A and B are shown apart, each in its own frame.
Chain A
């Protein structure tokens, strides 16, 4: 089954880079940077506001859109393309097609999210905002040009490696993480969890998967997750934002953000470890349920009886 899943993964990943899809994908990756550049032009941002906007733009938009396109119609494309009979007549074929395409969705989402982070930090004001924390995708000359006088560049260049090491140690000691690192973690978690969620949605509602997934995301992951009720604890967004906010230990300055993130109903009250376990369990149960459904359901391809 693993080798079949990997075969599907290799095949689907290769075929997922069509011209149209790639152009759309690049646009999605660049979208947060373009938006941030516009924000830079007209507003002054603070770390907490930038962190929120980035979370909404990169894992919340780049990853989600990538997963939506890559994962949700995984079953309907097989059925509509009349390819299902060939999948269903392979040993573990149903499971292999699901896991193979799941891995493709996670990979594409990870690449998109990480590329978006890699582009947005050096190209926008986030560069200056995070000068006090290590920046993995930033050269020493960029740091110098953005916040220092020319005569200071040399000393910063010489001391970059040292300062990174010191800062990393400090961060590890205090258990909070820089914005970029928290975002990378969020991208990884979002890719794994939302791919699993959309996999399940695509399995249940295989006839209109995209529409169903969009409606579900808007209602459950956007509206319900931000309602100060117990039901928001059933959404992935609730746990992911709790992990994200807690991992950075942000000092909130914006009143709106204070109102949201200091309200105990908006964030999980468990520890980060429990939140991670819960999110992992959710992703696993989504995949398990999808696989169980897929293996036990009958699918009719074409109109002939």
Chain B
């Protein structure tokens, strides 16, 4: 489906994508990375909007830059909001379907079908896009990407700005798409958004491909990264003394009011396993415990350090 070889994209002196090589067979892939990690640049290279500075991209066996044949086989939705258009959703989707080479009447039918698929109601689709909510615009963008039934669908941050209901519905649409056996490449900076849709993931940071793998492999990476755990307890000194003897503990900081501690561990699973027995043995009590969310930032940081050979 996708073959990337030594791909580099420079914007003058800024690196968008840095020496990336990867080969992906047909399937559903999540492209994960924090903002500014190069996901959009990579998608723009894959969709032929940008030309590689070094290396090459092959999508469905063809190079995308100035490739009119390939454009009929891919669908793309940008992360950017649609601005400055008073046209209706139906007209907008129809235009881009016509630009895929379909006659007007056929394109109108295909646009209706795509808008049905993304759940934009018949009354909403004949309203101006400038009156749409973010979620409706997102549906419209996806409709134009799927209307011509592409072999490979690429979506850049499709969940951005969506409310939980819209997220759920979009997830359903994309899950159906994948179940139909079509290719999907979807970018996000939040892992759990893509977990139920994609089989495999690519992790990017600072333009580099740091890792790739299945959801289990990503979770394994996440459990082994250092984590900070916030604990409120009336027995802070005793707990701190006991914990500091554990091998996986990196550091302990007391809260300013002495009513708790922040524990940093390089093996959170071990910590969660050991803590209850310590509390029971010493008859200690904790009132509240929280940890950082499972965002990918710490994974990315760790992977980047590994990539640089720092740890």
Contact = CB atoms under 8 A, between A and B. Distances in A.
A90 interface: yes
B78 A298 contact: no
Q: Do most interface residues of chain B lie in helix, strand or loop, or is the interface mixed? A: loop
B74 A89 contact: yes
Given A305-B14, A305-B38, A90 B99 contact: yes
B2 interface: no
B16 interface: yes
A15 B130 CA distance: 13
A136 interface: no
Given A81-B83, A89-B71, A7 B98 contact: yes
Contacts of A144: none
Q: Do most interface residues of chain A lie in helix, strand or loop, or is the interface mixed? A: helix
A3 B101 contact: yes
Interface stretch (A91-99, A151-159, A199-207, A252-260): A91-99
Given A93-B71, A305-B38, A80 B84 contact: yes
A86 B144 contact: yes
A301 interface: yes
A305 B41 contact: yes
Given A4-B101, A91-B72, A305-B11, A11 B80 contact: no
B40 interface: yes
A91 B68 contact: yes
Contacts of A169: none
Interface string B39-51: 0110010011111
B177 interface: no
A91 B48 contact: no
Nearest to B17: A305
A110 interface: no
A77 interface: yes
Nearest to A85: B78
Contact of A82 (B51, B68, B80, B103): B80
B83 A80 contact: yes
A264 interface: no
A305 B84 contact: no
16 contacts: A3-B98, A7-B95, A14-B91, A77-B84, A82-B83, A83-B82, A85-B47, A89-B75, A90-B100, A92-B68, A93-B71, A298-B49, A298-B51, A304-B40, A304-B79, A305-B38
